[in-house]
Structure formats: C-alpha cells, structure tokens
Amino acid sequence: MSLKTFQDLIEEVHNRGICEECGGCVSFCNAAEYEVIGFIDPYLPPEYIHKDKCLECGICYYICPQTHVLDDDLNKTYQFTNFSSLPIGHYEDIYSCQAIDKNFLENGTDGGVVNSIINFMIEKKMIDGAIVSKTDAPFVREATFADSKYDLLKASGTMLDITPQLDEIQKFSTYTSSISELNYYKFKKLAVVGTPCQLYTIRCMQDLGVTPSENVEICLGLFCYENFFFEKSQLERFEKDFNIKFSDIKKINIKEDVILKLKDDGNGEKIIHIPFNHLKKYMRPACNACDDFTNIYADISFGGLGSSDKYTTVIPRTEKGSRIFSQVLESGIISCADLDANKKHKMIELISQFSQSKIKRKEDFMNNLI
C-alpha cells in the first residue's frame, strides 16, 4: 500500500477549503531538509516547491490537523476521551490569574500570564526561549524567538512603530506559522505558544518522534474560537458594519465575543461587544472545520473567557503543565482570584458551552461540504 503524500493533502484538505495554514507539513518537510513544500503566498495553503524531490514519506499527511490519523494516539497520551463527555478536554484544575509585573499586565492581551510564565521559565533556565508571535508591519504577524523579557514585550507589539489601533486588531487578524520557526532553533529547549491547530501538529510530530518537535519543552495553548482574515479593503466595511472608526479602538479582547474598547471621547471609555456570529465575513473559512476551542493537547491552556477584565483563565492539563504552574504560583509572579468550587464550576460550564458551540459549527460545516 502506498503512503499518502502532500498531493493527498492538496486533494483532501486544500481543495475542500479546510487547510488551517498551521504550517505543520511545511515545518516537518523543511526540518528534514526535503524542502519539497512551502508557503508561497502567506494567505494561502502551502504549495509544492520541488515536487520532484518528494520522498513520499507521508509525514506531512500524518501530522496535518485535518486528517486526524493520530487522534487516537494523542487522546490516549493526553487523556482526552471525547468532546461529548468533556468538551474542554482533560484538565487538572482551573484558575483566573494576572501578572504581578506591571509591564506584562499592561501589555498583555488579558492578564499577561502567558508571557509571565515564559519569562519565569527562561529566568529559571527551564527553557532557552520561546516561539511567540510578533507584529512586523501592518497586517503582518510573524512567529519569532524570544529569550528575554525585552523580546517578550517587543513581541506584544508595544514598541513597534505602527499605529496602536492596527496593532490591536492584528493580535487576532492574521495567522502565524509558528511551527516553521522551530526549525531555526534546533538544539534549544523551547516553549511554544499557539492556537489549537498549531499545537496539534506539534503533538503529532512528538508522537511520531520527528524533528523539530524534540525542541519543544512545553506547549502553551491559547483558546481559539476563530481567527480573522482582514484584508485592508475589509477595514472600511468593518467600520461601516459596526459604526466605529479603527482609529478610536484602544484595545481588543476575545472572550465570549469580541470586545472593542474605544478611546475616551470625553464621555468616558466606551466598550462594544461584537458577537462571533456577526463576524462571519471576516472569519478565516478554514476555522469552520475546527472543533477544538480550549487547546486540549496543550500542557497549559489560556483564554479570556470565564475571567474578569485583566485576568487570564488558566487550565493546567498535563503532569508537566501542572508542575510548572505550581512553581509559577509559588514564585509569586502571578496572583490568582479566589475561586471557590462553585465559581470554578461556573467557569467550566461557560467554557464547555463555547466548546460545544464550536463542535456544532464544525459538524454543520462538514455536513454541507459533502
């Protein structure tokens, strides 16, 4: 029996419009120095570059989040049963936390917890650095290596010479091929921050024992209901649709919906909530084919949903994730809201509802594809 190859990914994934552009296939192929495939257009799925060099090893097919070949293996490793019994995946506990460091808190998307943990791990020499995401120019977000507090804050976009309101929307607007960046940091111990689709391919690579996944010491997963695709032409339409000016946006968060904080126009700060279902025309189409909201294969997952403003919801999942999070708590670099069992239960219920809604969205989308 011949193995499936990238040609099968084109037919089964790209041509059906469900490529998540996670970069997993490209990352493996390039790390193995085959360089058969690559991203030619950053807004399109990867393509053949040297098709004649393809070894037909099949790894790109195995690790793709849309083929689900390794789901059973991963579910065993990460103690995930199925979405209907536990929509948020296996977890050890749930917290709502914020950074003590004012820089991480002020520049953080929510409570600045992810960057605080990475910084802690670098300082304690648990990792050499992390693959995070930075803004290079308006509407271009790229994976980057950070090995200091300065790098982490720089990646938050705060020191870049672009208008702050564009910087805000970019946190969510374009996609980052974080995994490809792993190739450049062989022989280092890395943390990787990523959305569920990105971390899925890393876990598959680890399951198969293929390079460059051996570099990844810890997977820090972000919740992700959907990602957006903002071409410049769409900005005007967005302003019209929601009767706002981009230049008035001070901050954007994604929790149970998209939250825009507008600048004080003299009558106080205005907050606008836009439900996900009003943003359909700005959503990346492939996100319809994705059912993981809370990043079930991460060591620790993070999101805004379930927590108050300036706090991050934290879900340690694996033994390693729980151990590192306990060390973080002991070190006093973050503080956590006092949550009793009832409050924790309510958070889990809320997050489960969003998880279920994402699962349902995928089911509907896939039914319509066939």
Ligand X SMILES: Cc1cc2nc3c(=O)[nH]c(=O)nc-3n(C[C@H](O)[C@H](O)[C@H](O)COP(=O)(O)OP(=O)(O)OC[C@H]3O[C@@H](n4cnc5c(N)ncnc54)[C@H](O)[C@@H]3O)c2cc1C
Nearer CB in complex with ligand X: 28/354: 354
Residue 240, Ramachandran bin (φ over 0: left; ψ between -120 and 50: alpha; else beta)? alpha
Q: How far is the CB of 5 from ligand X (least distance, A)?
A: 28
Of 161, 153, 202, nearest to 178 (Cα)? 202
3-class SS letters over 198-217: HHHHHHHHHHHCCCCHHHEE
Q: Which of 277, 303, 298 is nearest to 111 (CA)?
A: 303
Q: Cβ 292 to ligand X, closest distance in Å?
A: 12
| DSSP code at position 196 | H
Six-digit token string for 299: 């060591």
What span, in angstroms and rounded, lies between the C-alpha atoms of 31 and 184? 9
Looking at the Cβ atoms of 104 and 175, the one nearer to ligand SF4 is 175
Residue 45 interacts with ligand X (CB under 6 A): yes or no: no
Q: Is the dihedral of CA 69, 70, 73, 79 positive or negative?
A: negative
Of the pair 46, 304, the CB lying nearest ligand X is at 304
Distances (CA, A) of 106 to 93, 99, 301: 26, 9, 21
185 near ligand SF4, rule: CB under 6 A: no
Contact flag: residue 178 with ligand X (CB under 6 A):
yes
String of contacts with ligand SF4 for each residue 198-227, x by CB under 6 A: ---x----------------------x-xx
| Given 305, 324, 347, 348, the residue binding ligand X (CB under 6 A) | 305
Which residues lie below 8 Å from residue 280, measured CB to CB, with a gap of 6+? none
Nearest Cα residue to 168 out of 143, 141, 198, 189: 141
The minimum distance between CB 299 and ligand SF4, in angstroms, equals 17
According to DSSP, residue 188 is labeled S
As given in the structure block, the two tokens for residue 66 are: 């849309």
Token representation of residue 119: 């910084």
In the list 11, 56, 269, 364, the residue contacting ligand SF4 (rule: CB under 6 A) is: 56
Whichever of 104 and 229 has its CB closer to ligand SF4, that residue is 229
Size, binding site for ligand X by CB under 6 A: 31
114 near ligand X, judged by CB under 6 A: yes
Q: Is 181 in the site for ligand SF4 (CB under 6 A)?
A: no
User: For ligand SF4, which residue of 287, 300, 315, 333 counts as binding (CB under 6 A)?
Assistant: 287
Q: DSSP string spanning 277-326?
A: GG-GGGB-GGGGG---SS-TTSSEEEESTTS-TT-EEEEE-SHHHHHHHH
Tell the residue number behind the tokens 């939250």, with chain if given. 259
Residue 25 contacts ligand SF4 per CB under 6 A? yes
Binders in 235-264 for ligand X, by CB under 6 A: 254-255
Q: Looking at 58-66, 90-98, 185-193, 336-344, which segment touches ligand SF4 (CB under 6 A)?
A: 58-66
Q: Which is nearer to ligand X, 9 or 132 (CB)?
A: 132
Residue 290 contacts ligand SF4 per CB under 6 A: yes
Can you tell me the distance from the alpha carbon of 284 to that of 201, in angstroms, rounded to the nearest whole number?
19
Q: Which of residues 188-227 bind ligand X (CB under 6 A)?
A: 193-195, 222-225, 227
Out of 23, 45, 87, 108, the only residue in the binding site for ligand X (CB under 6 A) is 108
Residue pair 100/337 in contact (Cβ under 8 Å)? The answer is no
Q: Toward ligand X, which CB reaches closer, 4 or 361?
A: 361
Nearest-approach distance from CB 240 to ligand SF4, in angstroms: 25
Q: With contacts defined by CB under 6 A, name the span among 79-87, 191-199, 208-216, 247-255 that binds ligand SF4.
A: 191-199
Provide DSSP, 66-96: TT-TTHHHHHHHTT---TTT-TT---S--EE
Q: Footprint of ligand SF4 on this chain (CB under 6 A)?
A: 5-6, 9, 13, 19-25, 28-29, 34, 36-37, 45-46, 54-60, 64-66, 195-197, 201, 224, 226-227, 284, 286-287, 290
Q: Footprint of ligand X on this chain (CB under 6 A)?
A: 104, 108-115, 132-133, 155, 171-172, 176, 178, 193-195, 222-225, 227, 254-255, 302-305, 312
